[in-house]
Structure 1
């Protein structure tokens, strides 16, 4: 378990894009008194958020392959996955890549032929590396099946200079059982690895600290429904286990949050502090703990749009008539 001070630097963010001509006409000038006033608010909010974060109990962030724990002014790292996770996931991508590349095609164009030729070399090299990876016998045989079938498809398509959609459909549907088994093994690797890391940390916490423990999961929007780490933390921290997370309920009382499209450590932990600060602020100003969990303009926008288009919002899972 690696340890370093909480204030350790993070990877630098890329510089922001310069504002467009339109953006410059809309934005307030930096020297505008109202712009300066707004920046003072932002600075005060950021300072308060840092103070909230510093007083919180232990917090864990899962960012890609790493778990990060902040506790008692210290920072610790532990693995969230092993290399086995990436082996299963990468080989699973091969048939998917071929299906994406060849879907809606008949005769090959030069770009597709070049890509297939490149993939053939990569598949062959990967196939040759399988024996030395220490995979269980059943899993090893499965990876061979996936790569061998993919290689056979590539060779057949290159030789014929074409592919029928019936051939492509038969290829990918025959791979589905092995693809899903790879997905299961990758999920098991992540869950087992996370559980070992988190339990080791929890053994070093007091009962009060375990009761205060929160977690944030860095995830892109597309990977968020049913996110493995979010499901795991929900169970181990005693939140409602929502499974597929189709309608994730980010209430202030929750101890597990998803940070969409956030892959840096400061932003992930800032989300937790923002969640707590906004809940307290909402309660004090609006008498509603969740008011600032949604856009402050949201209720007004709903009323305006309902009047403009003579309609009303539809409950989740229903479609407009």
Structure 2
């Protein structure tokens, strides 16, 4: 075995040691108290009990209003990449299929009841606007980005009230579950040691609903390693790995560097930044800037 193989073997040993430590940290946190938000369900881990599942994080009202709010985005996705002019048969078929699916849900998406009960200030005109636009496409079989832009601008103000009401519905459902768990299932010590792991889409991590909720409830940052961790995906095993990585890196970083956040960025980041400053200066002296825009 040459030097390269020996070093590679040594680093593989480090990875195994790290993974074992990470798994141990996750297991210990599950024995203290851990809440996982995974799609429509809340998972609760605590000492002496099997994992408990609480469904209901996406109540019917949330699903209804969010689905209606998605309709204009579906139209934009269908047409955003199409050229101006006649619609080809393949795209026209997809538009027709979506219109038919939307029409089949007309009663399900009616918001009259929500307006009568005060959930919405008035019945939403969004469904009618989307159907009217799709009917126009079916009649003309012509697409223009100008018409799509006008449609998008017209419906923009109609989406906000729907999404705000959907958020309230989901927050109420979550708060009811968490309140019951805190009151009936967790001791004061378990609540103080509780961590929360939230699974969700990548783009949603900025201001994600559950991150905001638990950050307020637990008085903790939405980003970091204190009590709240976000995982962008739907793989629960990967999410537990993320939780363990965040916790282990914070502990090791504090012990080694005196800074809990140091290992939350690339270990080569600081050295890279310093070296690139020197390298850029050398390029400037040689009149060969690194900045591609000046080449």
- TM interval, shorter chain, is 0.7 to 0.9
The reply to whether residue 147 of structure 1 matches residue 127 of structure 2 is: yes
Pairs within 5 Å for 1:89-168 = 89-103=66-80, 105-110=83-88, 111-130=90-109, 136-138=114-116, 142=123, 145-168=125-148
Task: Give the Cα separation in 1 of the matches to 2:244 and 2:108.
Answer: 45
The reply to whether residue 308 of structure 1 matches residue 258 of structure 2 is: no
- DSSP-derived class of the 1:121 partner: helix
- Counterpart of 2:35 in structure 1 is 60
After superposition, the C-alpha distances for 1:35-79 in whole angstroms (9 at most, x for unaligned) are 332222222222222222233321112122221111115311113
Query: Can you give the 5+ residue segments of structure 1 that lack an aligned partner in the other structure?
Result: 1-28, 241-247, 312-319
Pairs within 5 Å for 1:52-91 = 52-56=25-29, 57-73=32-48, 74-79=50-55, 80-91=57-68
Given that residues 42 and 54 in structure 2 are in contact (C-alpha distance below 8 angstroms), is that contact kept between their aligned partners in structure 1? Answer: yes
Task: Give the Cα separation in 2 of the matches to 1:170 and 1:149.
Answer: 12
Given that residues 214 and 237 in structure 1 are in contact (C-alpha distance below 8 angstroms), is that contact kept between their aligned partners in structure 2? Answer: no
TM-score, scaled relative to structure 1: 0.75
The reply to whether residue 288 of structure 1 matches residue 263 of structure 2 is: no
The alpha-carbon distance between structure 1 residues 62 and 169, as it changes in their structure 2 partners (threshold 3 A), is same
The alpha-carbon distance between structure 1 residues 310 and 199, as it changes in their structure 2 partners (threshold 3 A), is farther
Shift of 1:126: 1.4
The reply to whether residue 277 of structure 1 matches residue 256 of structure 2 is: no
- DSSP-derived class of the 1:62 partner: strand
Shift of 1:274: 2.4
The reply to whether residue 255 of structure 1 matches residue 227 of structure 2 is: yes
Shift of 1:220: 2.7
Task: Give the Cα separation in 2 of the matches to 1:120 and 1:81.
Answer: 25
What is the aligned counterpart of 1:179 among 148, 156, 159? 159
Shift of 1:231: 0.2
Task: Give the Cα separation in 2 of the matches to 1:129 and 1:258.
Answer: 33
After superposition, the C-alpha distances for 1:158-201 in whole angstroms (9 at most, x for unaligned) are 21222444433332223223211111121112211111111111
Given that residues 112 and 123 in structure 2 are in contact (C-alpha distance below 8 angstroms), is that contact kept between their aligned partners in structure 1? Answer: no
- DSSP-derived class of the 1:136 partner: helix
- Counterpart of 1:206 in structure 2 is 187
Task: Give the Cα separation in 2 of the matches to 1:121 and 1:249.
Answer: 42
The alpha-carbon distance between structure 1 residues 277 and 102, as it changes in their structure 2 partners (threshold 3 A), is closer
After superposition, the C-alpha distances for 1:70-128 in whole angstroms (9 at most, x for unaligned) are 11153111132223322222221212222333346432331322222112211211114
Shift of 1:309: 3.0
Shift of 1:249: 4.3
- Counterpart of 2:23 in structure 1 is 50
Q: How many residues align?
A: 272
Task: Give the Cα separation in 1 of the matches to 2:279 and 2:86.
Answer: 50
- DSSP-derived class of the 1:296 partner: coil
Shift of 1:224: 0.9
Task: Give the Cα separation in 1 of the matches to 2:84 and 2:260.
Answer: 57
